[in-house]
Amino acid sequence: MTWRVSDVKRVMDEWAPPAWAAAWDRVGLHAGRPDQEVAGVAVCLSVTPGVVVGARAAGANMIVTHHPLIWDPIRALRTDDPQVRLCLDVAAGGMACLSAHTNLDVAPGGVNDALAKALGLEKTKPLFAADEARQVKLVVYVPESHLARLRDAVSAAGAGGVGAYTQCSFSVPGVGTFLPGEGAQPYCGEVGKLHEEPERRFETLVPKACLGAVLRAMCQAHPYEEVAYDVIALENTDPAVGLGRVGELPEPMDGAAFAEHVRKRLASASIRAVHPGTGRTVRRVAVLGGSGGDQVARMPLDVDAYVTGDVKYHDALTAQARNLLVVDAGHHGTEIPVLPEVARRLVAALEGLPVTVIGEDDPFGV
C-alpha cells in the first residue's frame, strides 16, 4: 500500500483538527508536499539534528513533530544560523515535516490525556475549556422522506455528538414554499408555479472544526438542488476538548510520595516540587503538559496537586499562597508520553507504514 503525506496529515487532522490550535500557533505541514510518497514516519517532540539523523537511519522521510519546525519567519538562508541550517537540511533531504502542537494539547487522547494516563489518574476531564473548539448549530429544511438519510450523513461527518451520545438532533414539521424559476430543475414542484412542500426543520450541533465536511455531506444527502440552511454561532464549546486534564488518584498519598510518584512514572530527568507544607493529602490532580506554570492561579480550589512544566519563581509563590502542591516535571517530561500514542494511531490507520518514535533527550537532563 502506498501512503502519501496527505494521508498522514488526514489522520492527524481528524484526531487534532488544526482549527483547535491557538491563534498564535504554527501547526501544519512545514516541509514537503501533500502528494509526496511516505516511506516511513518518525515521531518526535522537537525536530533536532539528532532527530533528522535518527529518522534517516530508520528509513523515514517524514517527521511528525509536536513542536513546530518553523516558528519565527525565516528571513535569510544563512547556514551559520543553526535553525535555518536545520530547516535546509530537512528540505534538502526530501523530508516532509508536520506539526500538531496546541491542537494536540487539547485533543481527546492527546498530550494531556497521555500525561494523565501515565500518572494513573482516573475519571479525567478537561481542565480548561478550549475556545478554539466552539460549536455551531446547523439548521436545514428537508423533505420528510429524506430526513433519516440526511441525519445519518451529517452525523457520519461529525455532527450530532453530545458526550457519549451520537446522532443527536431535533426536528419539527412545517411547510416550505418555493417558486422554481426558468432553468431550475426542482426535485418537486413545477417551473413557474409556487409549490408547497411538507418539510422538517432539522437542527443539530456541529463542531466548528468539521463544519465544512458536515455541509458537504448535507448537500450530498439532500434532494434539493438549492439547499436552504443556517449556520448559527454559539458560545458552546465541546466539553471533550480542552486544555489540561483533572482527575483522581486511585488512592490518596502525601505530597512527598506524590512527587516521587510523578518522578517514577514520567522518568523525568529532574523534578521540582513546590511543597505547601506538611500533612498535605493528594487525591485530586490537575495536569497540563508542556509550559503550564502560568496557569497556577487558575487552578480550581478542589485540586490538591498540579503537574506541569516551566514553573517560574512567581508561579511557585502563588502556589504556596494557595496551599497548592505543584510538581514541575519539565516541559519535555510532561509531553513525551504522547509520542507512543501518536505512533499507535498512525500505525492503526495506515496499514503497513513504518512508524518510529524518536524520544530525544531532555535538554535539562544533565
Query: For each successive 10 residues of the chain (366 residues), what is the average pLDDT?
Result: 96 95 95 97 96 96 97 92 94 96 97 98 95 93 95 96 92 94 90 93 94 96 95 90 96 93 87 78 96 95 96 95 94 96 98 94 77
pLDDT recorded at residue 362: 85
* Domain range 5-104+337-357, its CATH number among 3.40.1390.30, 3.10.310.70, 3.40.190.290, 3.60.21.10: 3.40.1390.30
Reply yes or no on domain 131-237 having CATH 3.40.1360.10.
Answer: no
> Which grid coordinates are listed for 111?
498530550
First-residue to last-residue Cα distance in the chain? 43
pLDDT recorded at residue 278: 61
Polymer length in residues for the chain = 366
pLDDT recorded at residue 366: 54
Residues whose CB is less than 8 angstroms from the CB of residue 73 and which lie 6 or more positions away in sequence, other chains included:
none
* Alpha-carbon span 51 to 74, nearest angstrom: 21
Look-up of cell digits 509536536:
66
Nearest CA to 66 out of 31, 97, 95 is that of 97
Nearest CA to 289 out of 268, 304, 275 is that of 268
Q: Which CATH class is domain 111-130+242-329?
A: alpha beta
Residues of the chain with CATH 3.40.1390.30: 5-104+337-357, 111-130+242-329
